[in-house]
Structure 1
Amino acid sequence: MASGNAIRGSRVGAGPMGEAERGDSAPRFWISYWCANGHETRPSFADDGTVTAPDFWDCPRCGFPAGQDRDTPPSPPRNEPYKTHLAYVRERRSEADGEAILAEALDKLRATGRPY
């Protein structure tokens, strides 16, 4: 059995991780984004001149899109209700088209002599 003073999961010579061992962090800039619920998000971006901040950012709290203008944030996406297959068919075909297709299918079945 190992000594009771050892810290589990560490190794000899392990020290604290910090700026001294990792080096200096890259220069960064922060931009504020606001969603329709008024949440503010401030992601950071590398300040090396090659990165441009996006116009929109997803809010981590509610998931709505967030924009850089606090007074006019982007509107939340509109969710369409679930539609059944029959609802999609009714959008494409009129009642008269449906009756014609049904009559055609029944005529084919009657011509083959199979019961329906």
Structure 2
Amino acid sequence: MVGGSAIRGSRVGAGPMGEAERGDAAPRLYVSYFCSNGHETRPAFAADAQVPEQWDCPRCGLPANLDSENPPPPPKITPYKTHLAYVKERRSDAEAAAILTEALEQLRARRAAGEVIY
């Protein structure tokens, strides 16, 4: 028996050969965004969609906008601050000295009364 499979060369669940049954694709609009590293990104949007002013560059992660001559600057990265740095921002050295003096007087009074032993 000379036989063959009528579905040779296709896979299970494959659609018909030729034109897609889903119809035509929606009209698209390709917009160019530029980052400060000189990368150009062209995402596709629906033709009737509102295009955002900024887009993140997929290569470097920096913000990109529509103006190739003036791309947005990279965001400023603030360094990590310790708890002590935040305290020093809120209080002056004179205020800190006054608070320390008050705390030491309270501690010495508690030690004199026998509340704190060490």
Q: TM-score, normalised by structure 2?
A: 0.77
1:89 alignment partner AA: V
Q: Deviations over 1:42-89 (max 9, x none)?
A: 1111113xx210111010111111010001000000101111111111
Distance 2:99 2:19 in 1: 74
Q: CA RMSD in A?
A: 1.9
Q: Is the 8 A contact 1:31 1:43 kept in 2?
A: yes
Q: Which runs of 5+ in 2 are unaligned?
A: 1-10
Q: Which runs of 5+ in 1 are unaligned?
A: 1-9
2:77 to 76, 79, 91: 79
1:27 alignment partner AA: P
5 Å-filtered alignment, 1:16-95, equals 16=15, 20-48=20-48, 51-95=49-93
Distance 1:90 1:73, change over 3 A: same
Deviation at 1:16, TM superposition (A): 4.8
- Give the structure with higher Rg (CA): 2
Distance 2:24 2:98 in 1: 75
Q: TM-score, normalised by structure 1?
A: 0.79
Q: Is the 8 A contact 1:57 1:66 kept in 2?
A: yes
State, as a whole percentage, how many aligned pairs show the same letter.
Answer: 60
- Kindly report structure 1 stretches of 4+ aligned residues shifted beyond 6 Å: none
